[in-house]
Amino acid sequence: MRQRIRSRTLAAALALAVPAVLLLAAPAAHADPISQTSGFYVNPNSGPASWVAANPGDGRAAAIRSQIAQKPMASWFGNWSGDITGAVGRYVAAADAVDKLPLLVAYNLPGRDACGGHSGGGAGSVAAYDSWIASFVAAIGSRPAVVVLEPDSLGDFSCMSQTQINERVGMLSRAAGQFRAKAPNTWAYLDAGNPGWVDAQTMAQRLNMAGVANAHGFALNVSNYFRTSENTNYGNSVASALQRFGYSKPYVIDTSRNGNGSNGQWCNPAGRRIGTPSQMGGGAEMVLWLKTPGESDGNCGVGAGSTAGQFLPEVAYKMIYGY
């Protein structure tokens, strides 16, 4: 890894902002990627940035550029990414070249989105996923990164058979082990749903089965709308419940679309608003934009006629102002 000037600003913020229950968590297995970089990476090729570049004369472009496209947010990788080694490697290298910390989401489990159904697909088999995630990890290597593993994966059990559940927790556990063993400067987080889905005790049990002991922590509210305070209460309860297994873990919260909270709907609900941009602290270890504001959840709600992941400029524009 190239020599870099280290920034202590974000690391200091972490020390001040992490809730007391998280300070009792087991020490991280990996080096701190925050202190190795000078802030979060802004992807110049994100969906919003690409739309703004292609539509500079659109009346919505200036707001989408300043309020969304220029904010740090995660890039998602799955079966649409093609050669995963090349896709992840290029993304992480671009961030590394400017001394920034990339945010990545791995989303390729077989049978993903079992309950929602709008983002189905994923790797064709358990073996294919194991190979895919191994390549994902290898592409990061020793460079700093934050990775959220498989949104919805531990919340979907009610829509799966026991065999499918067993296979899933095995894949997640092996994935967490891969990051621990082969990506020494990556913080990996298993997805833990949201406050309106699975009770904290049950989620802690699922996280433990899925190998969160080998991950840095867990992620909440990915692609959902619950307020940060609701997620903080839930996250602290999950972290506390993990202590019965002999350890605890920190957590991050997706704040990309939670500015107006949840109205009880999850699939492109109207009237939502962007939340606090990616930063350390904020009630959790980090609050992060994991879902891209304006990207569709599927053919539903205000995104009727769209496909999951499609960038919708009108939805993005309204999300800036909360209407």
| Residue tagged active-site, from 156, 191, 254, 297 | 297
Residue-wise pLDDT tens digits, 251-274 = 999 999 999 999 999 999 999 999
Please name every residue paired with 147 in a beta bridge, in sequence order, or none if there are none: 104, 188
> What is the chain's Cα-based Rg?
18
Whichever domain contains 277, its CATH number is 3.20.20.40
71 annotated as belonging to a binding site for a ligand: no
Q: Domain span at residue 81? A: 9-321
Q: Is the residue at 4 inside a domain? A: no
In a domain, 162, yes or no: yes
Residue 119 lies in a domain: yes
Kindly report the number of other CB atoms within 10 A of residue 15's CB atom.
11
In this structure, of 5-19, 204-218, 304-318, the range with the lowest mean pLDDT score is 5-19
Question: What's the whole-model pTM score?
Answer: 0.90
Compute how many other C-beta atoms are within 10 angstroms of the C-beta atom of residue 184. 17
End-to-end Cα separation, the chain, in angstroms: 45
Is 2 within the bounds of a domain? no
d(C-alpha 211, C-alpha 168), whole Å: 11
Q: Is 291 annotated as a binding residue?
A: yes
Residue 152 a catalytic site member = yes
**Structural domains of the chain, count:** 1
For 294, which DSSP code? T
Q: How many residues does the chain have?
A: 323
Is residue 280 a part of any domain in this protein?
A: yes
| Cβ contacts of 287 within 8 Å, gap of 6 or more | 228, 252, 253, 254, 255, 275, 276, 278, 279, 281
Q: What are the tens digits of pLDDT across the range 199-233?
A: 999 999 999 999 999 999 999 999 999 999 999 99
| Strand-pair category, 279-280 with 286-288 | antiparallel
* 1 is a domain residue: no
Is 191 considered catalytic here? no
